[in-house]
A and B are shown apart, each in its own frame.
Chain A
Amino acid sequence: MHKPLKKTFRTLSVLLLAMSLLATACGDDGQDASPDTPTTTTAASTDNSTVDNETVDPVSDLEGDLLISGSSTVFPIVQRQAEEFSAANPGVAIAVEGPGSGDGAVKFCNGEVPIANASRLYKDSEMETCAANGIEFIEIRRGIDGITVVTSSANGAIECLSFNQLYALISEDATGFESWADANALLAEIGSTAESLPDASLDIFGPGEESGTFDSFAEIVMEAVAKGKTGLDPESREFSTGIRPDYTSSPDDNIIIEGISDADYSLGWVGFAFGSAAADAGSVKMIPVAKEDGGECVLPTPETIASAEFPIARYLYTYVSVSAAASDPAVAAFVDYMMSDQGLEAVAGVGYVPLADADQQLAQAIWADRVTGRTWG
């Protein structure tokens, strides 16, 4: 009975060996892929030889490891930039993850990552942690993410919503409303002059509390109403700055989009990249938004978001460690590329809105001069 067992072990070890060889082979493929990319870039640019020479960067011999963490919203921009960067710098190993702005802040302020992205400014508490650990940072604004208010493409009854109407539909005060018309009484009560809403069942979909899009929507819309910025008297009553708890929430924007497109009189909010992609595909309709009752209804487009005519937008940031930028050439080289005119094209390339020119130049100057500490907001 010795034999079968030995044979079994031999078979098993051969299998293991085969699998590790396969894994190694695949690994080599992955490695090959990086040097491959510049080849394709070169091929592409020879095809249309009118492209200026700047797009074909000479392959550098820079080496290093680079770990980038932070907001999942900013992730697609950084991924695009990291791809382009590694095509020119195949020797640098880059890893980009997107656990969220807050998680990124923890890692950044503990000195675990040299670069972290955020879909909001760092909070005071986060900056204190950074200071306590001796991490000095450069704060770079890098793009804009509009928040779109969306409904089903079958909904022809709603042409525009004002901040006050959004408040009357989605704020904590609106908890329990099952029809759009339920909001009319609340609108009258808070002194809004907005048009009355139709009697149709109200199905709300949006991101959950853990999401930056949830925070930003509450901050921008609900707080504007509560602080009297939409023409109401903030002293007249107790305004809530929260969002009603009884709506369908999901951390996955595509599931929110699905819910909105399935219910006829749905209402929801998602990031501009998701909203505009779904509107282009015809599954949902973006609702124009006016800040004040009777004000101009603005549809979110890259132009109206960049010019701040569209009222619901947030800025995206990247934090870079000063000491890492000084000591690690890979960090400096990456942020250099990230803030170059060519690198910044990734912002629009993945569906976000580039900064207005003045802001853009300011952001580039802040990086070039290594201005530390809070510079925005």
Chain B
Amino acid sequence: MAPSELIQNTLRHRRRSDVSGRVFYGLLIAAVTIAFLLVLVVMSDVVRGSLDLLGERAWGFLTSPSSSDQGKAGVVQGVRGTLVISVIVALTFPIGIGAAVYLEEYAEDNWLTRLIQVAVRNLAGVPSIVYGLLGLAVFVQSLRGLTGGSSIIAGGLTLAVLVLPIVVITSAEAIRAVPAAYRDGAYGLGATQWETIRTQVLPAAMPGILTGTVLSIARAAGEAAPLLVVGAAPYYTTGNNDFLEQLRGAFTALPMNIATFARLPAETWRGHAAFASLVLLVLVFMINLVAIVGRARIARRLGR
């Protein structure tokens, strides 16, 4: 018997006798199946609910504003609101990434830094409705002159604050995962700390940072509770206001559209809620896709 055969036989024998290992393997498969089935059920439910509308007036639904008339109601204002909110959230990412760079690269490891780190971690677990109250007090009331009250700027900034801790945590993790050899190499060639961070640490951490930030945009796109508190309007028109005035005017977002449709009388409005959910799912999926593609491109460019 050749040595390799011997090893394989032993392994096979071991595998057969490893009962707890196989039970654990079975449990893992079961967990994956359950998770997958749940996603499948949600997706099929949403798609089935929106079939009627999809056939009747899919494009009309995507391009109409909200209406009390089932034949005219649509989600264009919600799609627009969710996109603008995503942009506002994305514009605040430098703050989160900057905080992560400071915490990981500059801050000394003392009680203050640790306190800040613990606070950021706790903030990531605060229920979203609490951020809604914060947004109402700060962005709607105190900063009314800047945001124009219950506006999309106020809503976007509220959600930006909501995802900020997630951005800080994921970015910090990504920066921490950059091997110390990268930094040592740069320092060894005479680079300053900022040059090291800019040319070595950030590029290497970028795939991880990008994953975290885009996932947090997806999170912000799906939030309804804070927007409810900030004062999203279920119905509005824009009149003669230009784009900047609209930014400071009434707004809505896709999750608000879904909530409004779901609460209207008559069974036939359920289809509208289902279709709006489908639109939100597709939008979030597309945002995630951007993250995956972007990460793959950066990873390839870095040659890893």
Contact = CB atoms under 8 A, between A and B. Distances in A.
Contacts of A123: none
A8 interface: yes
A24 B199 contact: no
A77 B254 CA distance: 22
A307 interface: no
Interface residues of B, number: 51
Given A1-B203, A27-B246, A33-B65, A95 B265 contact: no
Given A16-B91, A79-B234, A4 B83 contact: no
Interface string B226-265: 0000011111111111010010011000000000001111
B199 A34 contact: no
Contacts of B240: 63, 90-91, 93
Interface string A73-117: 001101110110010001111111111000000000000000000
B263 A252 contact: yes
Given A8-B206, A8-B298, A19-B87, A31 B238 contact: yes
B243 to A, nearest CB: 6
B76 interface: yes
Contacts of A95: 233, 235-237, 249-250
Nearest to B217: A19
Contacts of A365: none
Contacts of B206: 4-5, 8
A5 B263 contact: no
A6 to B, nearest CB: 10
B87 A20 contact: yes
B203 A252 contact: no
A97 B262 contact: no
Contact of A26 (B76, B91, B231): B76
B238 A253 contact: no
Contacts of A29: 63, 76, 80
Interface stretch (A226-234, A241-249, A273-281): A273-281
Contacts of B178: none
B79 interface: yes
A63 B80 contact: no
B109 interface: no
B142 interface: no
Most buried by B among A7, A23, A79: A23
A199 interface: no
Contacts of B198: 5
Interface string A1-32: 11111011001100110011011101101110
A232 B242 CA distance: 64
B239 A30 contact: no
A34 B84 CA distance: 20
Contacts of B67: 79, 83
B16 interface: no
Given A1-B203, A22-B83, A92 B246 contact: no
B160 to A, nearest CB: 14
A139 to B, nearest CB: 23
B243 A27 contact: yes
Contacts of B264: 76
B90 interface: yes
A278 B250 CA distance: 32
Interface string B58-98: 00000111111100000011011001101100110000000
Contacts of B180: none
B234 A26 contact: no
B200 interface: yes
Contact of A93 (B199, B232, B241, B298): B241
A118 to B, nearest CB: 17
A351 interface: yes
B79 A252 contact: no
A83 B68 contact: yes
Contacts of A64: 239
Contacts of A33: 63-65, 76
Interface of B: 63-69, 76-77, 79-80, 83-84, 86-87, 90-91, 150, 198-200, 202-203, 206, 231-241, 243, 246, 249-250, 262-267, 290, 294, 297-298, 301-302
Interface of A: 1-5, 7-8, 11-12, 15-16, 19-20, 22-24, 26-27, 29-31, 33-34, 63-65, 67, 75-76, 78-80, 82-83, 86, 90-99, 252-254, 271, 273-274, 277-278, 281, 283, 346, 349-351
Complex A-B, nearest 10 residue pairs according to Cβ-Cβ distance, in ascending order: A93-B239, A95-B250, A26-B80, A95-B236, A23-B83, A95-B233, A80-B68, A277-B265, A96-B235, A277-B266
Given A65-B239, A346-B68, 17 more contacts: A16-B90, A22-B83, A27-B80, A29-B76, A30-B80, A30-B238, A79-B67, A80-B68, A86-B239, A90-B240, A93-B241, A96-B236, A97-B150, A254-B262, A254-B265, A274-B265, A278-B267
